Homo-oligomer: A and B are copies of this chain.
Amino acid sequence: MKIEHVIQSQQFTVPLIWELFNRTKQMERIVRKGGTKDYERYIMATLFYAPSTRTRFSFESAMYRLGGKVLSTEQAQEFSSEIKGERLEDTIRIIGNYCDLIVLRHHEEGGAARAASVSKVPIINAGDGSGGQHPTQALLDLYTIYNELGTLDGLKVALVGALDKGRTARSLAYLLSKFERTKLFFIAPPELQIKKDILEHLDEKGVSYELLDSVEKVISEVDVIYQTRIDKERLHNENVDLSIYNITPNVLRRMKNNSIIMHPLPRSVEISREVDTDPRAAYFRQAENGLYVRMALITLLLDNE
């Protein structure tokens, strides 16, 4: 199976997801053995218009473990400020001469697709705009669920937080809809609930779901809690007690043994530190999986050539 670019999570069919996850497993083994040199002739450019050291390091580490080299910018924004009216398309055409793969974080929704339309090297979307896509995060989230629970079928998943603009939660809901007997719980203050487009998509696919405003009711039956932040400033009433959305040792006590807590990180107060030592706290393993999934994606693109 061949893909030219990684632009949005929708482009990943179930067979492609399985191929990716097989490769990801292989990458875990490669890293455990100290990496490979198989890709040492390749150069990857991380072109970040908005800084995100965590995501950038994850990609760059992936390239290094594969033996490759990295061109890196934390502040591509400044370089485009040289001239008003410079277009992303020109930049991509130029940078494409200097590398074999571009990892792009752009501030405008649709930036990655525009880049891909003119690029002579593969583009990986590392986030475009706050309402845009971040497909590698969605894929590593899905991989984490698979890796922790051993299956992607018949899972009950609670997505918690400011879901209306929650790029990661939205993408994960989308990807989970591809699997059998998924049941989703969207848990958020009413004004920050998941948007209709996702619900319509789930209706179409016949995926069952519920909208809730507390984890209370479902805590003892879910397989996955996917926790995200809620910015207090976005609430209609700032006096609402957000702590009802937090994961605390008390919440943990009522969760199934064979369940996990995830978070795209960074976190604020929505998961207590006391939870970290519980084996069900999967969020740091989730961050680690970012490395393997990104290695797998890079090889998928470079093996195409």
Contacts and interface: CB of A to CB of B under 8 A. Distances in A.
A64 B43 CA distance: 8
Contacts of A290: 97
Nearest to A36: B41
A85 B268 contact: yes
B60 A71 contact: yes
A45 interface: yes
Which secondary structure characterizes the binding site on chain A?
Answer: mixed
A58 interface: yes
Contacts of A16: none
A75 interface: yes
Interface stretch (A3-11, A88-96, A164-172, A177-185): A88-96
Contacts of A64: 43, 69, 71
Nearest to A59: B98
Contact of A266 (B58, B69, B83): B83
A80 B54 CA distance: 9
Given A83-B266, A265-B90, A71 B51 contact: no
A148 interface: no
5 contacts: A43-B65, A60-B71, A73-B74, A90-B265, A94-B284
Given A72-B72, A82-B266, A90-B266, 13 more contacts: A43-B61, A45-B57, A47-B53, A54-B79, A54-B95, A57-B71, A57-B95, A57-B98, A57-B99, A83-B229, A86-B268, A93-B284, A97-B288
